[in-house]
Amino acid sequence: MTFARETFIREGRKPDKHKQKNTSQGNTFNLQNICKQQCTHNIPGHVKKKSKNEKGKNHFTPSKTNHQQRHITQICPESDTNSDTTVNLNVNVCENNKPTILKDYEICIGCGKDKTHSKTDWIECNTCRCWWHCSCAGINNKDSIKYTTYHIKYSCAFCIIRKENIFERATNITKTVDNQLNNTNKVYPTPQTTVNDTNQSSQQSIDITCKPKQRPFKEVTGDILIVDNIKEPEKCKTSTDIRKEISKKEKGSNIIQFSYKLPLGGIALHFPSSEEKKKFKERDAKEVFGEDSVAHNPASHYHKQNIIGFAKNIPLNLNLDKLKSEIEYQTGGNISEICRLHFWDTKRPMKVVKIFFDSPSDLDKSLDIEIANVSNNITQKIKVEKKRNIKFIRCYNCQCLGHPANQCQDKKHCHNCGSNSCSETFCTKPATCRNCQQNHKSSSSHCPAFIRFINQHKFKNCI
């Protein structure tokens, strides 16, 4: 291994034996004549140290220097035209009074560049005798010092690939992978195999029919119940602990299929049917897990299935429990939860009720039903709608449609009067829409601009 920096000067190098065979018989190498010119060339790889200010290394440069060019002219002066002297240093050759430079290490094998920075380090491969930039070979300054101090042999990437036979290994790996894939795609005959022999003995046709292999899988039903605010959560760490607590009731643990603790608190219980789930929720949940415990359906269950409905034009004085019992009586379905919505700014109750059904079929039965208003004894048609899959965004800052408030770059406008100078919390001015300039609030669902915006998005989703 040979290491070099371009600031050092290589005075001379004895040519390799394999390179001497290719030279002509007329070329000679005389070290004694070179020594007479006041140069020490009898030591190959002689180094001229750097100046005192620069850090010295026992390295030599593979590139051409002005000192070498002057040295060649001293060996072969122009006045001696009749001499047949030929000097071949494997790098610098002077023949017939015309200096010729033969450099097989002037170009980096990695990047192919011949001109580099003055402080670029070079390294030579011990196998192929090719020169590399240290940056191209992946060697930093700290590692380069180790190569020279400990006399570490360096082999380039090309020599390593030739020795290790990486290409042969890669082809063997691909062959084995292809063979394994072909074995998995083979079709083996089953007991239903039918063979059809033709009249000719040389030609035979075989028809193989096989059934595809079906893997057994477990079906997990949607009858899952989540229990939060457990009185003693330490007793419900594992599945066996949960079953012990439930087994305190008669035949309680046999009903549950799976039971486990949730990472954010609470437990999950899987039931075989919705009827058993409803019975446990109404009677056994609070007795087993405490009076403060809350049993409800999982949030993912609400989003995955269409079980959420919204009832509009519900009077504020109507009792929600009576509304729930009336819907269950007319439809025969089950409602798990019912609540009234509120305005986001004033927190006042709205005439919209959110209903959670146990199944999508119960929601379909409750669409467009008629319920008598108990307070006024007036039969009023209550329309229950499904939850919208498309969310229509209205900015709460500028009251425009199509973008949220965190992305708004406009000034704040009042949702009642539509002006940007209104500073009242509860605006009492006449209502003016920000989008269509009509006499209604910007949050009104009867706004023509809002209806047009909804229809455009529905048309885009249909496409």
Cα–Cα distances (Å) from 265 to 104, 228, 232, 234, 238, in that order, read 73, 7, 12, 11, 13
What is the side-by-side order of every strand in the sheet holding 87-88? 87-88, 92-95, 98-101
Q: Which residue has 């580099």 as its token pair?
A: 116
Burial (0-12, 13-18, 19+ Cβ within 10 Å), 101: middle
Tens digits of residue pLDDT in 28-52: 344 344 444 434 333 333 333 444 4
Query: Cβ(196)–Cβ(208) under 8 Å?
Result: no
Q: What is the pLDDT of residues 306-346, one digit of tens each?
A: 688 888 888 888 888 888 888 888 888 888 889 999 987 78
Contacts of 60 (CB under 8 A, 6+ apart): 2, 4, 8, 9, 10, 11, 45, 46, 47
Cβ atoms of 316 and 349 closer than 8 Å: yes
HSE toward the beta carbon, residue 346, CA cutoff 13 A: 10
Chain centroid to Cα 147, Å, comes to: 40
CA torsion, ordered 378, 384, 390, 396, to nearest 10 deg: 30
Show the tokens assigned to 187: 């079709």
CA distance 98 to 77: 10
Confidence category of residue 98, pLDDT binned at 50, 70, 90: very low
Q: What is the pLDDT of residues 187-243, one digit of tens each?
A: 544 444 444 444 444 444 444 555 555 444 444 546 888 888 888 888 888 888 888
Least confident of 72-76, 110-114, 127-131, 271-275: 72-76
Q: Mutual orientation of helices 166-184 and 157-164 as an angle, nearest 10°?
A: 50
- Quote the DSSP letter at residue 77: -
* CA distance to 142, 394, 398, 453, per residue, from 408 (Å): 55, 11, 7, 18
What is the rounded end-to-end Cα distance, in angstroms, of the chain? 69
Mean pLDDT of 417-440: 86
- Cα distances from 191 to residues 42, 206, 208, 211, 216, in angstroms, run 88, 14, 10, 10, 21
The CB-side HSE value for 393 (13 A sphere, CA atoms) comes to 10
Q: How far apart are CA 256 and CA 246, in angstroms?
A: 9
pLDDT tens-digit profile of 130-155? 888 888 888 888 888 888 888 888 88
